[in-house]
Amino acid sequence: MTLDDKNQNDILNSELMEQNDIEFIFSDKPINRFKTKPILEDKDSQLSNLRDEIANISNCELKNSATNLVFSDGNADSKIMIVGEGPGQKEDEMGKPFVGDAGLLLNKMLKAINIDRDKIYITNVVNFRPPNNRKPEPSEINRYSEYLRKHISIINPKILILMGSTAMESLFGTKIKISKERGNWKEVIINNQTYLTMITFHPAYLLRQPDQKKYSWTDLKEIRKKIDALKIKL
C-alpha cells in the first residue's frame, strides 16, 4: 500500500466513524441497515386490550357482584371525555354508562349546550356496579384509577369533565372538596400529558338536590365557552 493509499483509507475510516455511532461500529450484533419505527397499536386495539384487562381483574368485590362490565359509550375519537362514578342498576343490566335516570338528565344537560351525546366519549371510574349502588370504597377508587388513567391516555381528550366527587377523587385525591372545586378549570398530568379538566356535580346528585342545578348550569356554560375557544369540532 502506498502512502497515498494509506492516507485515503484513513480519511474513509474517519468519515465512517463520524457518520455512525460507536455502538454501530463495534457491536457484534447483526447490523440492521433499515431503520424502522416501532409499530404502535391503534386506538381501537388499545381500548380492546384495556377492556380485557379490566374484565380479567381478580379479587374484586365489584366484579363478583355485578352482571356486566360497563366500559364506555360514545365516540372514541372525541376531544371531550366525561368520567362519572360507576354503573347503577340500569347500566349494569345494559353494559353501558349513563342510561338510567342520571343518564337521561346528562343527555338534557349536554343538549342545553348544543352537544350530541354520541359525539363525546363517556366512561366511569369503576367499571362494575357497586353493591346496592353504594359509593366505591377508597381502595376501589385507587385500584380503578390506574385503569382510568390508561383510558384517558388512550382517548387523549382536550377537555376532561369529571362528574361527581368519586371522579374528582380518582385523579385529585381526597383533600379537596367538590363544592369548592367545581366550576374551576384545573390541570391533571397523566403520562407526561396535561389535560384540561372541569369538575362538576354528578347528574345523580342533581336529581337528589335539584337546587344545585343552577351551579351545574354555570359549569356547563363554561365548558361550552372552552369548546368554542379551543375550536373543538363536535
pLDDT, one tens digit for every residue, the chain (234 residues): 555 555 555 655 555 445 544 443 444 555 555 555 555 679 999 999 999 999 999 999 999 999 999 999 999 999 999 999 999 999 999 999 999 999 999 999 999 999 999 999 999 999 999 999 999 999 999 999 999 999 999 999 999 999 999 999 999 999 999 999 999 999 999 999 999 999 999 999 999 999 999 999 999 999 999 999 999 998
Return the closest-CA partner of residue 130 out of 204, 66, 208, 205: 66
Q: Is the dihedral of CA 143, 39, 43, 226 positive or negative?
A: positive
The per-residue pLDDT for 48 is 98
In sequence order, the β-bridge partners of residue 161 are 82, 198
Strand residue runs (E) in 10-151: 73-74, 80-84, 121-124
Do 128 and 66 contact (CB within 8 A), yes or no? yes
Q: pTM for the complete prediction? A: 0.83
β-pairing verdict for 193-200 and 121-124: unpaired
Q: What is the pairing mode between strands 73-74 and 185-190?
A: unpaired
Residue 22 is predicted with a pLDDT of: 42
Query: Within 10 Å of residue 145's Cβ, how many Cβ atoms?
Result: 18
Query: What whole-number distance in Å separates Cα of residue 45 and Cα of residue 47?
Result: 5
Instruction: Report the CATH superfamily, name and number, of domain 43-229.
Output: Uracil-DNA glycosylase-like domain (3.40.470.10)
Q: Check residue 83 and give its pLDDT.
A: 98
CB of 178 closer than 8 Å to CB of 164? yes
Q: In the prediction, which pLDDT does 41 show?
A: 79
> Can you read off the three cell numbers belonging to residue 32?
440492521
Whether 137 contacts 174, CB under 8 Å: no
**65 — phi, psi (to 5°)?**
-100, -10
How far apart CA 70 and CA 84 sit, in angstroms, is 12
Confidence at residue 222, expressed as pLDDT on a 0 to 100 scale = 98
| Cell 376501589 sits on residue | 140
How do 185-190 and 159-163 pair as beta strands?
unpaired
